[in-house]
Structure 1
Amino acid sequence: MSDKAQPIEIGKFGAVYGIKGWLKVHSYTDDPESIFQYKPLLMKSAGGVQEVIITDWKRHNKGFVAKVDGYDVREEVQALVGIELLVDPSSLPELEADFYWRDLVGCQVKTDKGYHLGVVTDLMETGSNDVLVVKANSNDAFGQKERLIPFIEEQVISNVDIAGQLITVNWEPDF
């Protein structure tokens, strides 16, 4: 099974809230509130991946709290703290762009002059623009090196070929 077919983490349960089995929910979705609209919502625990049903949720301060079906008291819901929330990739909405950020992880990165910079290992949000975290291969003439390359289309990112797992950048390698 390919990594693209594996369930995708879209949030996690945080601290217990109150005494009636509510807990905080941390959403990683673009629109944080949309985490509650995914069906089925899955949770990853020591026992594997299983469906979780949110019976109620509400905004609380800058985040959310939720009530999980079958958990009615603080002591029971404590077991869910830190549990990842997942969805099946087929549940994701249609793309406005050509790819999800997760599709970029694992892509090779080369300059438009043909120099291999490494592989995308992560992405960071900085506020002004997103940044590719690119790690050079061990056979890189300059040793193991991590580069941060801004994801600015046309100016820095020349081409993204998801099928070919290649990102071409207008970037000078730092030696």
Structure 2
Amino acid sequence: MSSNQQPVVLGKLGASYGIKGWMKITTYTDSVEGIFDYSPWLIKEQGEWREVKVVQWRYQGKAVVAELEGVTTREKAQELTNCEIGIAVEQMEQLPEDEFYWRDLIGCEVINSTGYNMGKVQEIVETGSNDVLLVKANAKDGFGKTERMIPFVTEQFIQKVDLTAKQIVVDWDPDF
């Protein structure tokens, strides 16, 4: 992992499970088992990221539990409870040209089709029908807005995404 890039957080270690060091896993991936597609994991223990390998995992009811290399006791598992699970950026799947990771859109400038700078993407909200960009307006917003919510619907509202320039061009009225 490059020293200037923070890992991509995919979940966290939960409570210990049993006496042999197994742990419950909380995942942020689309599917519960998706987190196990990545190896090795990085875990953030006492503020430092270190590499770990998953020995095995399984469903336990609706949850998943895993055995990590070197964690063989309940006590050691308890020490790791609530540690974040991450992966190196390089482990992320390359997406098709018209798809984007949310993490890459955060911080992008949002410019409307007339050139008005609407602010920066602060976060993305999943609504079910489509994702929505939560844009923090510029301090001197001429329309009195502090934030805007713009549906991430390509060809209708999103005209262009340029990750190199960290810019998103939208067809959106600045008064909305």
In the superposition, the TM-score normalised over structure 1's length comes to 0.87
Cα deviation 1:83-105 (Å, max 9, x = unaligned): 11111111112212443221111
Aligned counterpart, 2:165? 164
Compare 73-82 and 160-169 and name the one that shifted more: 73-82
CA distance in structure 2 between the aligned counterparts of 1:85 and 1:25, rounded to whole angstroms: 9
Q: Aligned residue pairs: how many? A: 174
Which runs of no fewer than 5 residues in structure 1 stay unpaired? Answer: none
CA distance in structure 1 between the aligned counterparts of 2:133 and 2:52, rounded to whole angstroms: 33
Contact 2:44 2:50 (8 Å CA) reproduced: yes
Question: Superposition RMSD on alpha carbons, in Å?
Answer: 2.1
Identity %: 48
CA distance in structure 2 between the aligned counterparts of 1:95 and 1:59, rounded to whole angstroms: 28
C-alpha deviation, 1:131, in angstroms: 1.2
CA distance in structure 1 between the aligned counterparts of 2:27 and 2:121, rounded to whole angstroms: 24
CA distance in structure 2 between the aligned counterparts of 1:161 and 1:150, rounded to whole angstroms: 17
Alignment of 1:80-95 (within 5 A): 80-95=80-95
The AA in structure 1 aligned to 2:86 is: L
Aligned counterpart, 1:63? 63
CA distance in structure 2 between the aligned counterparts of 1:16 and 1:2, rounded to whole angstroms: 31
Compare 153-162 and 5-14 and name the one that shifted more: 5-14
In the superposition, the TM-score normalised over structure 2's length comes to 0.87
CA distance in structure 2 between the aligned counterparts of 1:29 and 1:90, rounded to whole angstroms: 17
Aligned counterpart, 1:115? 116
- Give the direction of change, closer, same or farther, for the CA distance of 1:97–1:125 in structure 2 (3 Å limit): farther
Alignment of 1:1-175 (within 5 A): 5-98=5-98, 99-142=100-143, 145-174=146-175
The AA in structure 2 aligned to 1:114 is: G
Which runs of no fewer than 5 residues in structure 2 stay unpaired? Answer: none
- Give the direction of change, closer, same or farther, for the CA distance of 1:2–1:103 in structure 2 (3 Å limit): farther
- Give the direction of change, closer, same or farther, for the CA distance of 1:151–1:24 in structure 2 (3 Å limit): same
Compare 163-172 and 29-38 and name the one that shifted more: 29-38
C-alpha deviation, 1:68, in angstroms: 1.5
Task: Provide the secondary structure at the position in 1 that maps to 2:25.
Answer: strand
Contact 2:13 2:80 (8 Å CA) reproduced: yes
